[in-house]
Chains A and B, each alone.
Chain A
Amino acid sequence: MDMSTDNLDIMQFFVSMLIVGIGVALLATGMFTSYFGAGKSQKIGFALLATGTILLALTYLMAFGGIDAIPNEFDENFFADAFVSGVSALFGMIVGLFVILFVLMKVDTVDDLEDLDLEDLEDLDLDEELKKLEEELNQTEDKEDEPVVDEKKEEE
């Protein structure tokens, strides 16, 4: 396995995808913020949207050309390879997550509930418990009212 970093093309692969990543993130967050935001947030959303679009357009022009004023910094073929590899990795991650979700949903995790003692819950009489709670509440309210009455008597 060739682990040397001498032949790695950081400018063509890393930098190009770094700018694309920033552009896509700004575009996506800008779309959401401009749509769901209000007032100042909406304006920020439009600014993010515009910045993302400009970044992506500039990267495209730097890779595939079209305007003479913008230099071709990225090689067309390398850029396409880098983009395909990034999209493929994202696709693989999504597929992996779906597989995990599928397996987790298929695995019977109800056994974990066996540890719970549900018989205690079945024996509970809810009416009685409610009455007890009400009595306790009434008692605490009576206790809170008593000192106030005493203070009034003292004042008289």
Chain B
Amino acid sequence: MDLVISMSLVGAMISMLGMGLLIAYYGSSKTRNVGFGFLVIGAAIAYYITLPDTFADISFWNSMLAFIGGMVGGIIGIIIFLVAIIKS
């Protein structure tokens, strides 16, 4: 269960940081403020996750490894698809 919660938080953190950056940069007035809010929430989740007493043990880092592996695999798969389609 810890694995599910910690990795769900990681996913939400990535979304918040990524979208927060985009919204804070390209947004205007109110929207930009919301973007900064997302950035703060993302940073807070990152801080909470990496606290020593929460999830940051070896199994968490192994899970991160699995997540990164899955993402890299997905990107490689899409590149294979694009190469196959473009070459034909």
* Residues of A bordering B, CB below 8 Å: 1-2, 7-10, 12-26, 29-30, 33, 40-41, 44, 47-48, 52, 78, 81-86, 88-97, 99-100, 103-104, 107-109, 111-112
**Chain A interface SS verdict (over half):** helix
A-B contact pairs, 29 of them (CB 8 A): A2-B61, A12-B62, A18-B69, A21-B70, A21-B71, A26-B81, A41-B85, A44-B85, A44-B88, A78-B62, A81-B66, A82-B63, A85-B3, A85-B64, A86-B70, A88-B4, A89-B70, A90-B70, A92-B15, A95-B8, A95-B15, A96-B15, A96-B16, A100-B15, A100-B16, A104-B23, A108-B30, A109-B30, A111-B30
B1-24 interface mask toward A, CB cutoff 8 Å, 1 = contact, 0 = none? Answer: 001111111111111100100010
Interface pair B70/A17, CB less than 8 Å apart: yes
Q: How many A-B residue pairs have CB under 8 A?
A: 186
Q: Which residues of B lie under 8 Å from residue A19 when comparing CB positions? A: 73
